[in-house]
Amino acid sequence: MTPIDLQPVVMAGGSGTRLWPLSRAQFPKQFLVLQGDRSLFQQAAQRLASLAAPDIHVAPTCVVGNEEHRFLVLEQLREIQIGGATLLLEPMGRNTAPAMTLAALQALDSGADPVLAVTPADQTVVDERAFTAALQRAVRLAADGAIVILGVLPDRPETGYGYIKASSAADGTGVERFVEKPDLATAQRYLAEGRYFWNSGMFVVRASVWLAAIERCRADIAAATRAAWLARSLDAAFVRPGREAFAAIPSESIDYAVMEPIAAEPGAFSLRMVPLAAGWNDLGAWEAVWQVSSKDAAGNASHGDVLLRDSRNSLVHAASRLVGVVGLDNVVVVETPDAVLVADRSRSQEVKQIVAELDRAGRSEQTLHRQVHRPWGWYDSIDSGERFQVKRILVKPGASLSLQMHHHRAEHWIVVSGTAEVTCGDKVILLSENQSTYIPLGETHRLANPGKVPLEIIEVQSGSYLGEDDIVRFEDTYGRVK
């Protein structure tokens, strides 16, 4: 038996605006831990890595994601011990059809023609055994040339998903057509008829078959993506398509670009659907998070330091402090250190309108959390005022910040725990707990952690301008020198 070569592909480029304020542009929902101890992205990567069987050989993971999230992706893969991954970095969002085309070009680059198992990074599955069985079946169909989509068995009349209308076929469930998000009455009819499935957004197809399909249905996307691929640059695990060529790619989803045209043209390609009954949810809004969460006797789901009194069917998420809720029904309350959301649970999809308003106003709460993750660790802006800012900084063992200087601010560093190696001008010193140092304005400096435990410091900045763009980098371990 010749094993089927399988290339796992995780689409990790989404913004997750409807899960604000937990989800932010630079820390979107796929990297959040909403249940258990793994992020949605980590769960997706592990599910695909577990598809190996005697007839299925699983290659290292391919992740298609945003340039700004590259170190976050690497760190989360490291935490779950998935190594050897390839990261295709999109300089800007162009939706899922170009992203899948990039993954197919990458897969074919070695001369092989593997089956791609493509999944979004922001979904959750309860029954992983059922998921594995369904995906393995899809892989075997795709190895014979089919384009396979996973259709989720619906358990309620859902108006927030697209649907697939199925027809019977000998080698799998055929696809009659794709259906847009319905109104409630239509969704109830779909559930009663039993031939309609939720569109999961998961696809399984040989790389060459996908390229043939995108070239037939959207030759403009195929040509523009190929041009960006030919202009790519390589940096260790990072593959960067040409920026200018990528910007010229039309933005389109897999469904609109390929799946719907193929379903409307029977015979052009073998289009199949494999039913998935595994407790799937795409966590597209806080309502979906409430649905999959554990609840008390009154239907309330809570996370963090929460006190509930006389409240029902509500979701309360406390990230940094005590949150008390009294006498509320069907609400969502999400607290973070710098923003709080209170919403009618049934209208949680509308949170994206708040995010759009923040974006128009140029406010940072749309982009960043107060705690900002960096490849070397993180910093938390705990206080600020006119001409000063206080940060709590954690540096991972063996990591270091860039060799840098600031034009407009000086800095005081106080070591809380661990050991700090401080470069200031031509001097290098070691500081331990309760020791401190001063970095004058305009002085070249670097902070590093030479130890085996995390380094934590308090940084007090003072000066006329304290923005993060007042950094001139001279050397950087992570390729961020400008």
Look at residue 481 in the predicted model and tell me its pLDDT. Answer: 52
How far apart CA 412 and CA 365 sit, in angstroms, is 26
With cut-offs at 50, 70 and 90, classify the pLDDT of residue 179. Answer: confident
User: Which amino acid is residue 239, in one-letter code?
Assistant: V
With cut-offs at 50, 70 and 90, classify the pLDDT of residue 2. Answer: confident
- pLDDT tens-digit profile of 249-286? 999 999 999 999 998 887 788 999 999 999 998 888 99
Look at residue 169 in the predicted model and tell me its pLDDT. Answer: 52
165-169, 253-257, 310-314, 408-412: the lowest-pLDDT one: 165-169
Cβ neighbours, 10 Å, residue 74: 18
Q: Is the pLDDT of residue 210 over 50?
A: yes
- Average pLDDT, stretch 386-395? 96
* Nearest C-alpha neighbor of 45 from the set 32, 23, 60: 60
- pLDDT tens-digit profile of 432-472? 999 999 999 999 999 999 999 999 999 999 999 998 889 99
DSSP letter, residue 124: B
Average pLDDT of the chain is: 92
How far apart CA 324 and CA 305 sit, in angstroms, is 9
Long-range contacts from 361-370, C-beta under 8 angstroms, 24+ separation? 365/21, 365/24, 365/338, 365/339, 366/20, 366/24, 366/25, 367/24, 367/25, 367/26, 368/24, 368/25, 368/26, 368/27, 369/24, 369/27, 369/336, 369/337, 369/338, 370/336, 370/337, 370/338
Cβ neighbours, 10 Å, residue 16: 24
* Nearest C-alpha neighbor of 220 from the set 94, 132, 69, 390: 94
Cβ neighbours, 10 Å, residue 386: 6
Measured at the alpha carbon of residue 378, what is the angle toward residues 372 and 380, in degrees to the nearest 5? Answer: 60
User: Which amino acid is residue 77, in one-letter code?
Assistant: L
The helix (run of H) or strand (run of E) holding residue 404 is: strand 403-405
With cut-offs at 50, 70 and 90, classify the pLDDT of residue 396. Answer: very high
How far apart CA 468 and CA 479 sit, in angstroms, is 17
Predicted TM-score (pTM) of the model is 0.89
With cut-offs at 50, 70 and 90, classify the pLDDT of residue 170. Answer: very low
- Average pLDDT, stretch 116-129? 94
The helix (run of H) or strand (run of E) holding residue 173 is: strand 173-179
DSSP letter, residue 121: S
Query: In Å, how far are 49, 109, 311, 480 from 471, measured between CA atoms?
Result: 39, 38, 48, 11
Q: Contact, 401 vs 453, CB < 8 A? A: no
Written as six digits, the tokens of 365 are 């709460």
- pLDDT tens-digit profile of 305-322? 999 999 999 999 999 999
Q: Is the pLDDT of residue 168 over 80?
A: no
Look at residue 41 in the predicted model and tell me its pLDDT. Answer: 95
